[in-house]
Amino acid sequence: MASIEELKQQLQETNEAISKIKLGGQEIQSRNGRVKLADLNALRQEKADLERQIAEAQSMNRMDSFATPVYFMGKRRF
């Protein structure tokens, strides 16, 4: 699993790609012809997935720092 910093970097790159599409559209004209950028819906899906992964990773970090492991040492009596 990627670290929180890597996930945040990927989220930033995804947000930048979404912004470029919003500003310039999904197709751009170049000297070599038309170029289609990434699909906006796919980028939005990727953004939601990254945000979910970041939230899960952060909640796991919080649980790790506040959880107290409990061990049972001895015989069980029934």
pLDDT in tens, 26-66: 887 888 888 777 889 999 999 999 999 999 988 887 665 55
pTM (2 d.p.): 0.67
Distant-in-sequence contacts of 41-49, Cβ < 8 A, 24+ apart? 43/14, 43/17, 43/18, 44/18, 46/14, 47/11, 47/14, 47/15, 47/18
Alpha helices in the chain, H assignment, sequence order: 4-24, 40-66
Between CA 42 and CA 11, with CA 38 as vertex, the angle to 5 degrees is 65
pLDDT number for residue 72: 61
pLDDT number for residue 63: 62
* CB contact at 8 A, 16 and 46: no
**Where along the chain do its domains lie?**
4-66
**Structure tokens belonging to residue 77:** 């009596």
